[in-house]
Amino acid sequence: MSNQPLPRYVTSALIEVEGGSITVTWGLGEVIPGEIEYFGYGIDYYGVDGNGGKRYGVRFHEQATAHVFEWSSATQANYTSASITHTDERIVVFYPDASIGLEDVGTIQAFSHVNGADIQTGIPVTLMR
């Protein structure tokens, strides 16, 4: 993983909605130890009735990629590493043509994973519209 960030524990998660785009920022803390093949971060949310919603995610493997998965239609939009910036303190992903798609968000939470296993779940998310 040349020029890739190290996997780190999530300390905060923020979604910013601006017009027809979304910016997601995962605040990062200490490095996650162990043998790492790939890792990533995500935010899942659903409507107040438990339906609809999306997953905003980023994954680091041989290259960095991002995606938006829509639960109701089971469709996914993929984004290249050009949409991703990172430092030791944060991962920021810009989704230029994404939206929340729900008037009322019910549950919303962030997570992190390493080698396909969830490391952190239920991380609170701040949603700014």
Question: Tens of pLDDT along 88-122?
Answer: 999 999 999 999 988 899 999 999 999 999 999 99
Q: What is the mean pLDDT of the chain?
A: 95
pLDDT digits (tens, 9 = 90+) for 26-41: 999 999 999 999 999 9
**Is the pLDDT at 64 greater than 50, yes or no?**
yes
Q: Angle CA(14)–CA(74)–CA(100) in degrees, nearest 5?
A: 30
- Annotated domain spans of the chain: 8-128
| pTM listed for this prediction | 0.94
Distance CA 67, CA 62 (A): 16
What's the CATH code, domain 8-128? 2.60.40
